[in-house]
Structure 1
Amino acid sequence: MTKPRRRQAGEGGISEYPTKSGVRYLIKYGYTREDGSRGTVLKRGFPTRKAAAEELRARLTSVDRGSHVAPNRVTVDEHFTVWLAGLRKQPSTVASYSKNVRLHVVPYLGALRLDQLTGSRLTRLYRQLESEGRADGSGGLSPRTVRYIHTIVHSGLSAAVRDGLVAQNAADKADPPSAKAAASPEMQFWTAPELRAFLEHRRRVNDELLPAWHLISYTGMRRGEALALRWGDVDLDAARLSVRRGVTVVKNKGQGQQVLVGITKTPHSRRTVDLDANTVAMLRAYKAARGLISLSLARDDALILGDVDGRVRHPERFSRRWDTAVRQAMGASSDIELPKIRLHDLRHTHATLLLASNVPVKVVSERLGHANATITLGTYAHVMPGMQAEAAAKFGALMTEGAS
């Protein structure tokens, strides 16, 4: 009968030790650190020798495969602080991530070691945020916000896995609000007569921002893209403009607000948008009027929608000006009852009217700067039923032509 092979040095071992609750088991094994020196891990608390043996086998396998995670005491707070400081994203995105981590992650999980995070712990956090997560104590966060926080946590923990701080991403096993529950609020949009009525009202009251409302509604540009547009980005002879930059607001705790102009967030957002004759005429007249105020306001490097001093407008104040304009138009229109919409809904209005007029989805997608037409289809599915009915009728007519 052969004797059982003794464990070699470094292969690890199992020992038992007494506790008030009875016998418990510990495992001990060695590994090689990144600098070549040897380290030892001791892990206690296993209720049975079998459980300890299973864990030891798993740990030794990870050592053999080079996927072993060296013991560390890095906390959630410490890791996310370092991760956010080195994040290569737009300043507004980093500020948003930092705010959500500071308000909604660190107070609940910050003191935990990274290896103490589990999917269940994260799921419990998400449920707590939905019921009482508002920083002002007035209730819970929306499913959309909580899902966004989950996205941030998942990204941060992925970095921890890459850095060898943990073996797996606990967020993979968490249960955040579903995509359906976190869907955007139902969009609103105006019909063509409603948009015409609004623009006509703003023309009658001599709204200084009428060119802005016209430009956004006729091109489908985002708010920040329109505010960053310069005269050099527009070719009035060719009737087109180039979207290259965007304006964002960055809010960092203790630093106030910053309004920044930078390149658009994605390559797809950088695009060329063709202009109709009406918009070209409006821009020519507006540029001439700006030049009468100051020649500097009509130079190629001047912001088209800047204030009278040529400075970039604050995006949030710009949106408040829109809200005021809509309220005034709603109260003044007697022929058409205007529904209240957000400034971003002008972009939705532009897309919806084009799609309802049978403009190809790919063309609309390119005007909006979507990554692909699938995004456009998913966003504006509300337009499709009527278009499909029309397509069915047209196909039916083709099949009955010439039939006896």
Structure 2
Amino acid sequence: MASDDTTQTRRRRGSVRQRGNSLQVRVFAGVDPVTGKEVYLTGSVKGTSKAAHKQADKLMTKLLAEVDEQRSTATTVTFSHAIDEWLKNIELEDTTRDGYVGYIERTIRPALGTVQLRKMSARALESLYSELRRCRTRCGGKPFVEHKTTAKHDCVKLKCKPHKCRPMASSSVRQIHAIISGVLNAAVRWEWIATNPAKVAQKPKQKPPQPDPPSSAEAARLVEEAFKMDDDWGTLVWLVMTTGVRRGEICALRWSRIDLEEGTIDIRRGYTLRRGVGKEKDTKTHQMRRIALDNETLVLLMEHRQRCRERLVEAGIELTPDMYVFMGVRNPDPTVPYSPHAVSSRYKDMAERLKIDTHLHALRHYSATELLTAGVDLRTVAGRLGHGGGGATTLRVYAAWVAASDRKAAEILGSRMPKRKRK
């Protein structure tokens, strides 16, 4: 039985009061670290009898234990507030931030914005992910009309249609989970909550990558067609095909980063377009890499540089090392790089004319798979592609081709073994 002093201490930290035909238990949990307001944990017990009072005492003991187990006072602020604070403090590339904000405003904030941080749970997160996998608008199976505008309008004229459920892709749900987990991790660091429920919440499984590079015959047709269109475009496609560089990296390439004597190019920067404004940035993995070039590629680059020099002389401009290697078609200005979007669009149009189902990024897959199939070691291929993790990413993406390369290695080794005489 508790002593009088212990009972008095418990009563100072909490209280039991009658509310109608029930007892309300209220325990002081500290001061909210964000709002500065007092925080209380509450519960209730039906009835007002002696038995009900005993139950209320047990409930108070339980709530007091919860308060004592917490490292700090849990805040009552909402998840929406935590999102705003997280966005203020986290360092992100502009394009990455735009993507995160899109997920937040379209999906995360409407679903979880009003939930108090301390009430976030793994179950609530898993329920959200399940809803999104059934329907990205979280319709709950209720029929409704998808209106083209919120203003007063004529549905027939604007062709408003009944809603059809479209599940959100697993990769998108995983991205939403990563954002939520990032916000909750920050809340733990700031001592707003004790634990991050997203760490134990189950998210959709990641599907294994399925690269689909063009075949050798298709690659030959693509590069041949590119040179037919014009030599500059042919050189760009050739360089992407033989080096596996990313779209933004080829657009950001400057002459100062090409060493024609040593036969190498340095990949240090990428180029992106955000709301129509171009900007140079670090590479995707924030690492520079040096890629060796073959003799044919070196010859093509020397010819390309001479064309650029002659073109600029006609305009009264001298070619300098800081100029971009590839300029746009409509606006051939050496101080403005080829637009990444224009590169992808032109390549797609070319592939469609040839009736080849592919896209520019598939040339990166082509470069990797050709090297692996030829027996080039994994670390070298990873280095040329700019993959981090010492080849872990390369192995995950190109596992099938690594297996094929391993089979080839086994055959080579077996062929060099001494032949055994059969009885």
Q: TM-score, normalised by structure 2?
A: 0.81
2:162 counterpart of 1:164? no
Q: 2:105 aligns with which of 102, 109, 115?
A: 102
Q: Note the C-alpha offset of 1:33.
A: 7.2
Q: Note the C-alpha offset of 1:383.
A: 0.9
2:376 counterpart of 1:352? no
Report if the CA contact (8 A) 2:251-2:270 is conserved.
yes
State how far apart, in whole Å, the 2-side matches of 1:115 and 1:2 are. 31
Question: What's the counterpart of residue 202 of structure 1?
Answer: 226
2:145 counterpart of 1:127? no
Percent identical among aligned pairs is 25
State how far apart, in whole Å, the 1-side matches of 2:89 and 2:378 are. 39
Q: Note the C-alpha offset of 1:327.
A: 1.4
Q: Evaluate the alpha carbon distance shift between residue 18 and residue 178 of structure 1 in structure 2; reply closer, same or farther with a 3 A threshold.
A: farther
Q: Note the C-alpha offset of 1:145.
A: 0.8
Question: What's the counterpart of residue 150 of structure 1?
Answer: 177
Question: What's the counterpart of residue 258 of structure 1?
Answer: 277
Secondary structure of the corresponding residue to residue 6 of structure 2 = coil
Report if the CA contact (8 A) 1:297-1:303 is conserved.
no
Q: Evaluate the alpha carbon distance shift between residue 29 and residue 351 of structure 1 in structure 2; reply closer, same or farther with a 3 A threshold.
A: closer
Q: 1:315 aligns with which of 340, 347, 364?
A: 340
Question: What's the counterpart of residue 391 of structure 2?
Answer: 373
Q: Note the C-alpha offset of 1:390.
A: 2.5
Q: Evaluate the alpha carbon distance shift between residue 257 and residue 80 of structure 1 in structure 2; reply closer, same or farther with a 3 A threshold.
A: farther
Report if the CA contact (8 A) 1:202-1:210 is conserved.
yes
State how far apart, in whole Å, the 2-side matches of 1:401 and 1:51 are. 82
Q: TM-score, normalised by structure 1?
A: 0.84
Secondary structure of the corresponding residue to residue 298 of structure 1 = coil
* Aligned residues between the structures: 379
Q: Note the C-alpha offset of 1:7.
A: 5.1
Q: Note the C-alpha offset of 1:207.
A: 6.2
Q: 2:380 aligns with which of 357, 363, 384?
A: 363
1:59-113 Cα offsets, whole Å, 9 max, x none, are 1243xxxx212544x2222221221122212121122111211111112221222
Question: What's the counterpart of residue 16 of structure 1?
Answer: 16
Question: What's the counterpart of residue 94 of structure 2?
Answer: 91
Question: What's the counterpart of residue 142 of structure 2?
Answer: none
Point out where structure 1 has 5 or more consecutive residues left out of the alignment: 251-255, 331-338
Question: What's the counterpart of residue 298 of structure 1?
Answer: 319
Report if the CA contact (8 A) 1:191-1:353 is conserved.
no
State how far apart, in whole Å, the 1-side matches of 2:292 and 2:345 are. 28
Q: Evaluate the alpha carbon distance shift between residue 33 and residue 289 of structure 1 in structure 2; reply closer, same or farther with a 3 A threshold.
A: closer
State how far apart, in whole Å, the 2-side matches of 1:76 and 1:297 are. 57
Q: Evaluate the alpha carbon distance shift between residue 8 and residue 242 of structure 1 in structure 2; reply closer, same or farther with a 3 A threshold.
A: farther
Report if the CA contact (8 A) 1:228-1:247 is conserved.
yes
State how far apart, in whole Å, the 2-side matches of 1:3 and 1:44 are. 24
State how far apart, in whole Å, the 2-side matches of 1:233 and 1:401 are. 51
Within-5 A mapping of 1:53-72: 53-62=61-70, 67-72=71-76
Q: Evaluate the alpha carbon distance shift between residue 146 and residue 20 of structure 1 in structure 2; reply closer, same or farther with a 3 A threshold.
A: farther
Q: Evaluate the alpha carbon distance shift between residue 15 and residue 260 of structure 1 in structure 2; reply closer, same or farther with a 3 A threshold.
A: same
Q: Evaluate the alpha carbon distance shift between residue 224 and residue 30 of structure 1 in structure 2; reply closer, same or farther with a 3 A threshold.
A: closer
Report if the CA contact (8 A) 1:12-1:30 is conserved.
no
Question: What's the counterpart of residue 253 of structure 1?
Answer: none
1:94-144 Cα offsets, whole Å, 9 max, x none, are 221112111111122212222232212222222222233269876232111
Q: Note the C-alpha offset of 1:402.
A: 5.7
Q: Note the C-alpha offset of 1:199.
A: 1.0
Q: Note the C-alpha offset of 1:243.
A: 0.4
1:21-54 Cα offsets, whole Å, 9 max, x none, are 73343323557979xx9x8542112554434322
